């Protein structure tokens, strides 16, 4: 297992971490993700630890808190300082008007619930699951800094922020001497590379490490979807269990990518999903890729993305197949690369 530093922090995280959105399945939306219960979850956690995967990611809203409960029971009895637990809050958790957002009220309420459900007295990484445009950024960051000072949280991270959301937060934290976001949990895959337009350059400039969610585009890069195969009639994507909306990805664009993935699979002997993950492992700012699995076989396959690298030529072929014209102002900025230098892999 390779471990990488998470942004500007001193924390090292495994390049592959395990996401628990499939744990629980307490409502219709998350049932489509998965319904893993304690016994199977415990086995998956054990497999992860056997392979050096010691970071486990969850969120309060996953199955209305049940995912945290299942994860907590699955890691119970394991040496706490040998594992890293990450959770998130911000989105709606209950019906009352204050049961959402990144206010001091909601954060303090949710952290206590998460700690109880996970059976621990601290979180290694605590994310704001999304940006709250109603709450002053100062209120959010001061509360998070207090949680670090109290020992209930070790490091803080953002998730799904836009560039200005993240930069404003970093600036305010620096102004007041508060702890900064050291990580940004983002969607990034071969199918959707918008992360590269602004958030990646920001991460490079400000030393914010990325933790990638849905690296297989909600299952579309797992090998089931291809120009050569009939469009699946069952499965997570078809059942509405993908966190990546259908409207974000045209079939022809996906097929251009899977055409090359299939070629590379024959060349390397690796699976489609392993190649897709390996491509991400070689991108700038990437600290860890969060993989999920409904069963042990899926997990073992995903773990096979480590320990080897695509060649420079193979990466360029994937880059070309997956590239799309950026929206304004990014296409305009690329008209003058002397003023707006971009990472080498774009060129």
Cβ-based neighbour number of residue 313 at 10 Å: 7
**Does residue 62 carry a catalytic annotation?**
yes
Instruction: Give burial (CB, 10 Å; 0-12/13-18/19+) of 231.
Output: exposed
Instruction: Please list the alpha-helical segments (H only) found in the chain.
Output: 28-33, 38-50, 66-75, 104-118, 137-150, 163-176, 199-206, 251-268, 272-281, 296-303, 312-322, 330-333
CA–CA dist 189, 322 (Å, integer): 9
Residue pointed to by tokens 């880059």:
319
Residue pointed to by tokens 């102002």:
329
* DSSP letter (8 states) at residue 36: B
Helix (H/G/I), strand (E/B), else coil: 187: strand
Phi, psi for 267 (deg, rounded to 5)? -70, -40
CA–CA dist 194, 324 (Å, integer): 9
Residue pointed to by tokens 């995967």:
53
Instruction: Give burial (CB, 10 Å; 0-12/13-18/19+) of 274.
Output: buried
CA–CA dist 156, 175 (Å, integer): 17
Polymer length in residues for the chain: 347
Query: What is Dmax (Cα atoms) for the chain?
Result: 57
Tell me how far CA of residue 64 lies from CA of 20, 35, 67, 81, in angstroms: 13, 13, 8, 27
Helix (H/G/I), strand (E/B), else coil: 288: strand
- Output the six-digit token pair for 84: 């890293």
How would you classify residue 189: left for phi > 0, otherwise alpha for psi between -120 and 50, otherwise beta?
beta
Catalytic residue chosen out of the listed positions 3, 62, 126, 188: 62
- What is the set of active-site residues? 62
């Amino acid at each position: 297992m390779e471990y990488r530093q998470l942004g500007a922090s001193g924390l090292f995280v495994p390049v592959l971490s395990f996401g628990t959105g499939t744990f629980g399945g307490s409502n219709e939306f998350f049932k489509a993700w998965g319904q893993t219960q304690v016994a199977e979850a415990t086995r998956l956690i054990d497999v992860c630890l056997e392979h050096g995967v010691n970071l486990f990611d969850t969120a309060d809203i996953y199955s209305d808190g049940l995912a945290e409960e299942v994860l907590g029971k699955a890691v119970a009895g394991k040496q706490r300082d040998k594992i890293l637990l990450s959770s998130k809050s911000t989105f709606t958790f209950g019906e009352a008007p204050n049961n959402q957002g990144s206010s001091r009220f909601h954060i303090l309420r949710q952290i206590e619930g998460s700690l109880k459900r996970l059976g621990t007295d601290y979180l290694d990484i605590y994310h704001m699951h999304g940006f709250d445009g109603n709450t002053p950024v100062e209120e959010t960051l001061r509360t998070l800094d207090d949680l670090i000072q109290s020992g209930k949280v070790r490091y803080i991270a953002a998730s799904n922020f836009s560039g200005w959301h993240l930069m404003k937060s970093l600036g305010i934290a620096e102004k007041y001497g508060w702890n900064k976001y050291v990580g940004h949990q983002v969607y990034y895959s071969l199918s959707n590379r918008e992360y590269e337009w602004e958030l990646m350059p920001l991460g490079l400039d400000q030393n914010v490490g990325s933790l990638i969610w849905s690296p297989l585009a909600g299952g579309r890069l797992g090998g089931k979807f291809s120009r050569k195969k009939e469009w699946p009639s069952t499965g997570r994507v078809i059942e509405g269990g993908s966190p990546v909306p259908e409207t974000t990805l045209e079939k022809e664009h996906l097929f251009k990518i899977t055409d090359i993935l299939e070629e590379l699979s024959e060349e390397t002997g690796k699976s489609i999903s392993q190649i897709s993950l390996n491509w991400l492992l070689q991108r700038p700012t990437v600290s860890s890729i969060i993989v999920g699995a409904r069963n042990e076989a899926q997990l073992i396959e995903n773990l096979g993305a480590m320990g080897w690298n695509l060649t420079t030529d193979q990466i360029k072929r994937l880059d070309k197949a997956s590239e799309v014209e950026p929206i304004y102002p990014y296409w305009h900025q690329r008209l003058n690369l002397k003023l707006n230098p971009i990472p080498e892999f774009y060129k």
